[in-house]
Structure 1
Amino acid sequence: MSNIHPKTSPIYQTSVFAFEDLNALETYFSEPGQSYMYTRYGNPNTDELAGKINALEQGVGAVVTSSGMSAILAAALAICKAGDHILCAEEIYGGSSALLSQELTRIGIEVTYVPMEEIYDLRQHVRPETKMLLAETMSNPLIQVLDVERLANAAKQQGIKLVIDNTFATPVLTQPLLLGADLVIHSITKYISGHSDVTAGVVVCSTESDLQRVLKVMMTYGLNLSPFEGWLAARGLKTLRLRMKQHSSNALTIANYLQQHPKVEKVWYPGLEEHPQHELAKTQGRGAFGGMLSFRIKDEAEAVNRFMRALKNIPFAPSLAGVDSSISYPAGTSHRSLSNELREKQGITAGVIRFSVGIEEAEELIADLEQALAEV
């Protein structure tokens, strides 16, 4: 058996590992990382996935979790305790906002949302008890691009940690830790796994102390990822670079198409020269702009319904970043928990549709969009 060397890692689908004797048990505790005891604490499949993502983000270590939401929770609880204060970019995934506002506030952590126009000058928002700022490389759903290096400098000036959700950009486009961020999180469910068949998250750390705190939170709160999910995500990760090239190429082609369509009132995509952060996105994204865009048709729910029903090959699926394209409706899904006033302020109106552009042939996607837009 010792001569077996599989090219692909086997799946360690076990909840517990056996020890030879008490000496082996003591070795587990005295030499961390040399062996395994319980899959909630660690497993070869999840460790392999964490190591590969950490290498892409160039951190000191990573911890994989059961979902993108549990990754955000692990990062926040690793840094903050009751009585502390979190800053969060106002334009952010609705699930992140709900976690902070509805759940962390219940355990004594306060939250303040920072408008985009004030995000690089935090002085008026920071308190003595402020511990971290959460923001996205590219905001969900209107794809505003943050200058991570500038934001990191602003956070350091105030003595707080910067946590960047890099899900939309992926480390193929942007590596926030190299730009000064303290922690990076991903919903592995999205581009990293890439095939809409995994639910997972990850926290990548720039310091050993943060890594140990995140690991402790994951283990204690039971936020661990299952071995099979870890194995499946590691398999998907192998094609991340190839997929991101095609996602980005297709999205730019489709953004240009939508921009000139008479039924489309506005397109949000950083690859368009009209996008307010186009030059930043070009530099920070190494010349690529990702696979996510949003566009607005007539601000009527029934117009959106007609469009959705007419699509033949692009499903309405409230997630993103799979190899197959999909559309979503932020006002009714990802940002449903926001008040009507806040959605309106951010521009998430009734006609806004988020488009996760897949890796199909761009011409096929445009043909489907063309006939569906005719029904609007």
Structure 2
Amino acid sequence: MTTINPKITPIYQSSVFKFQDLDELDEYFADTTSRYLYSRNGNPNSDELAEAVNQLEGGAGAVATSSGMAAIFAAVLAYCQAGDHVLCAADIYGGSAALLNAELSRLGITTTYVPFEQLYALEQYVQPTTRLLLAETISNPLLRVADLRRLAAHCHALGLKLVVDNTFASPVLTKPLLLGADISLHSVTKYVSGHSDVTAGVTVAADAEVAARLKQIGVFYGLTLSPMESWLAVRGLKTLRLRMREHSHNALAVARLLLGHPAVREVYYPGLPTHEQHALALEQGGGLCGGMLSFKLADDKEVVSRFMRRSRRFPFAPSLAGVDSSLSYPLGTSHRALTAEQQQALGITTGLVRLSVGIEPAEELLADLQQALDV
């Protein structure tokens, strides 16, 4: 029989795996890592993705999930049960806030939101049942940068775990676990996969016991990622390091253009010296600041819509981090569920536009933005 030894892992598009007899079944339950039984419990493709991201993050174990939201859900449940309390950075993805407010609250897990300026003074927010702080490496949508080493030390001094959404940075720029975080998670849909053709997540733990708990949550709640999505994500991951360099290079060029344009009131990009956490962003990101930025036009809906209609290289597509550039509108998409008061407090106004800068030739992106803004 011909030996098959592929360089690339095949797609194991199978929901179930065969056993020869009861002895093999007993072997499986004696060591569930010895083979595969059922794809909800584990699949070679989803395990390959989880381990690849785990290695990049320097973790003790990881689980691949069906979306970034599933990754956040698993991370919170790894530490919390009914009656527990969570702290969450106020500068957070709107979907994360919606999960905490609408669903985890129904499970008896309460949340307090902490303004960015008070993340390193959590004492006033801690309750006897507080278990963790959820924060982002680079916040969505205003690109504030958390000092993860300082934040981890502060959390641990208070007996809290630090859970970090590392999606905007990717493990190429920042490795939260090496800076002291307890869990690092990603919407793999974004930079890790990178081609806008996958919906997936990964949650990585610094501790092996927590990693085992994450695996259990994934199995029991059915958060498992499909083989095909896993295979595509692994393929995308292979070019992550190259892509992040181009994303960062292009985003800096775009930010500089926007900073000098009279139609733009403000630019939020950590790579600009004017950014409040610029030095931290460079240190924590190894000199790169990623491909995400936001900017403010006039607080006039028609001004924003006109810009969207004129742009050809930045289509309005409410996601991010693909190789092709796109734009999003936080007020109407990612942070739509927040109250008007919350939106205002976070600086999410009518004129705020978020760009996901891709890896196209920079001069083409700059020319497109210039003509879209010159009205």
* Fold conserved between structures, TM > 0.5: yes
Matched, 1:196 2:231: no
- Helix, strand or coil: the match of 2:88? strand
Q: For 1:358, give the aligned amino acid.
A: G
Q: 1:2 to 1:115 in 2, by over 3 A?
A: farther
In structure 2, what is the Cα distance between the partners aligned to 1:365 and 1:79?
Answer: 43
Matched, 1:111 2:111: yes
1:260-303 superposed Cα distances (whole Å, 9 cap, x missing partner): 00110000000000100000001000000100000001111111
Report the equivalent of 2:24: 24
Q: For 2:75, give the aligned amino acid.
A: A
In structure 2, what is the Cα distance between the partners aligned to 1:246 and 1:27?
Answer: 48
Matched, 1:281 2:275: no
Report the equivalent of 2:173: 173
Indicate the percent of aligned positions where both proteins have the same amino acid.
61
In structure 2, what is the Cα distance between the partners aligned to 1:199 and 1:92?
Answer: 20
- Helix, strand or coil: the match of 1:184? strand
- Helix, strand or coil: the match of 1:123? helix
CA-CA distance at 1:32 after TM superposition: 2.4
Q: For 2:3, give the aligned amino acid.
A: N
In structure 2, what is the Cα distance between the partners aligned to 1:46 and 1:33?
Answer: 13
In structure 2, what is the Cα distance between the partners aligned to 1:197 and 1:145?
Answer: 28
CA-CA distance at 1:213 after TM superposition: 1.0
In structure 2, what is the Cα distance between the partners aligned to 1:141 and 1:208?
Answer: 32
Q: For 1:100, give the aligned amino acid.
A: L
More moved, 320-329 vs 73-82: 73-82
Q: For 2:237, give the aligned amino acid.
A: L
Matches of residues 239-318 of structure 1 in structure 2 within 5 Å? Answer: 239-318=239-318
Report the equivalent of 1:153: 153
- Helix, strand or coil: the match of 1:25? helix
- Helix, strand or coil: the match of 2:342? helix
Matched, 1:36 2:36: yes
In structure 2, what is the Cα distance between the partners aligned to 1:298 and 1:314?
Answer: 19
Report the equivalent of 2:133: 133
Matches of residues 320-331 of structure 1 in structure 2 within 5 Å? Answer: 320-331=320-331
Which of structure 1's runs of 4+ aligned residues deviate more than 6 A?
none
CA-CA distance at 1:2 after TM superposition: 5.9
In structure 1, what is the Cα distance between the partners aligned to 2:305 and 2:25?
Answer: 60
Q: TM-score, normalised by structure 2?
A: 0.99
Q: For 1:99, give the aligned amino acid.
A: L
Asked if structure 1 preserves the Cα contact closer than 8 Å seen for 2:136 and 2:146, the reply is yes
In structure 2, what is the Cα distance between the partners aligned to 1:253 and 1:311?
Answer: 17
Asked if structure 1 preserves the Cα contact closer than 8 Å seen for 2:61 and 2:212, the reply is no
In structure 1, what is the Cα distance between the partners aligned to 2:54 and 2:117?
Answer: 32
In structure 1, what is the Cα distance between the partners aligned to 2:249 and 2:307?
Answer: 24
- 5+ residue gaps in structure 2? none
- Helix, strand or coil: the match of 2:123? coil
CA-CA distance at 1:313 after TM superposition: 2.4
In structure 1, what is the Cα distance between the partners aligned to 2:42 and 2:3?
Answer: 25
1:308-360 superposed Cα distances (whole Å, 9 cap, x missing partner): 01112221000000000000000000000111111111111100000000000
Q: TM-score, normalised by structure 1?
A: 0.99
Q: For 2:293, give the aligned amino acid.
A: L
Q: For 1:312, give the aligned amino acid.
A: R
- Helix, strand or coil: the match of 1:78? helix
